[in-house]
Structure 1
Amino acid sequence: MSGYPDNPSGHMSGSARTRRADAQRNRERILQAARELVHEPGELKLHTVAKACGIGQGTLYRHFPTREDLLAEVYRREVEDLVAAAPRLLETHPPLDALAAWFDRVAAYARVKRDIFAAVEAATWQDLAAHSLGPIGAAVELLLAAGRSAGGVRADAEARDVIILISWLSRLDDTELDARGPRLLSILVNGLRAHHRD
């Protein structure tokens, strides 16, 4: 196969666009299946992911040559979705409500983080954690800054404080996360709330 486009103008033909769209759909299906299967007991197997998607193993390997490549991308996508949720929530909610709604999303992220970090090598999860800290911190600061500006969040609240506190969620198993997660996050929101004196 040559490296040239399908026609001399440099624009993709309809068949090339269809192939690209199919490839993107397959990639999304693979990521979604892996995100669900990583919660299952035992080691995640690539052939299990391929079977769950209804695709061949060759197709999966073209997108993700190794299990760690796949799990790293699932985690990166989870971080991207979490970070992108912050400005969207601020568009539709008052700042403190947006922060509380974002914390609900953090609980789902914590499950994925816990299971993926348990499934990959230490060097991989340390690298993933190092690269995700900045974007997540920026999302937290966006929410806190909006809350401070509106007078709803205490002036001394820092993104690092929140990161430290929510990091404990990924250490809880599913039973404890279901039982304690909402209450812990509610306590955190109340702790961030500005206390106005008359």
Structure 2
Amino acid sequence: MTGNNLDGAGRRHRPLRADAQRNEDRLLKAAAEAFAREGADASVKDIARAAGVGVGTLYRRFPSKEMLIEATYRQEVRLLCDAAPELAAGLPPAEALRTWMERFIDFMAAKQGMADALRVVLTDETERLQTRADLAEAVRHLLAAGQSQGVTRPQVAAQDVLMALGGISVMTDTERQPGLATALIDLLLHGVLAD
């Protein structure tokens, strides 16, 4: 889902023209990839180049790097939450859950890269709690889809799955072992999926 009508600081604004929205979407995608790879030190110039726009276009939309980081974070949260019903509708329940978990780990990698800047930009505890609630709702949706087909255990709580995924992301970031996230997701799924 795109075009949430929020600017980089979360304020309402007029909807963007279609071409401007495409530019913004490409910028935010390139920024998420760059921040996951290089952290908050990622070059704004390189992000603009990867998005196929000039650095002036980036700065017109996001006057500061902090605003770009905040907008990237908000976009990634929204995309992750929006993915849950789409995955549940298009994939078998276990595969939908696995795919969403993998996307969550990618999201957390980008968030880790932006962590220092996000601590400065996102100071509102209410917003952090709302983000956590939105992500838990996405997990709840996937678990319910699985429960309706007898694929996921009914007693599994979405908040527990979310916390376990957070732990996986920390371990993956700390250990830097290829395949570790996949192995830990497999282990988590073993506890979530019905026998």
TM over 0.5, shorter chain: yes
In structure 2, distance between residues paired with 1:103 and 1:142:
13
Write out the 4+ residue segments of structure 1 that deviate beyond 6 Å after TM superposition: none
State the TM-score, normalized to the length of structure 2. Answer: 0.77
CA separation of 1:73 and 1:174: change in aligned 2, threshold 3 A: farther
Q: 1:82 aligns with which of 80, 87, 96?
A: 80
Deviation at 1:126, TM superposition (A): 5.4
Unmatched runs of 5 consecutive residues or more in structure 1: 1-18
Which has the greater radius of gyration? 1
> Contact 1:50 / 1:60 at 8 angstroms: preserved in 2?
yes
CA separation of 1:129 and 1:176: change in aligned 2, threshold 3 A: farther
Deviation at 1:61, TM superposition (A): 1.9
What is the total number of aligned residue pairs between the two structures? 176
Deviation at 1:137, TM superposition (A): 0.7
Matched, 1:191 2:191: yes
Return 38-47 or 100-109, whichever deviates more: 38-47
CA separation of 1:36 and 1:94: change in aligned 2, threshold 3 A: closer
Deviation at 1:105, TM superposition (A): 1.9
Q: Quote the residue 2:3 is aligned against.
A: none
1:52-63 matched pairs, under 5 angstroms: 52-53=50-51, 55-63=53-61
State the TM-score, normalized to the length of structure 1. Answer: 0.76
CA separation of 1:85 and 1:174: change in aligned 2, threshold 3 A: farther
Unmatched runs of 5 consecutive residues or more in structure 2: 1-15
CA separation of 1:175 and 1:70: change in aligned 2, threshold 3 A: same
1:16-27 matched pairs, under 5 angstroms: 20-27=17-24
> Contact 1:111 / 1:174 at 8 angstroms: preserved in 2?
no
In structure 2, distance between residues paired with 1:129 and 1:145:
24
Deviation at 1:176, TM superposition (A): 2.6
In structure 1, distance between residues paired with 2:113 and 2:80:
17
Identity over aligned residues, as a percent? 35
In structure 1, distance between residues paired with 2:118 and 2:90:
39
In structure 2, distance between residues paired with 1:98 and 1:86:
8
SS at 2:178 equivalent: helix
> Contact 2:146 / 2:152 at 8 angstroms: preserved in 1?
yes
In structure 2, distance between residues paired with 1:29 and 1:132:
23
Deviation at 1:159, TM superposition (A): 0.7
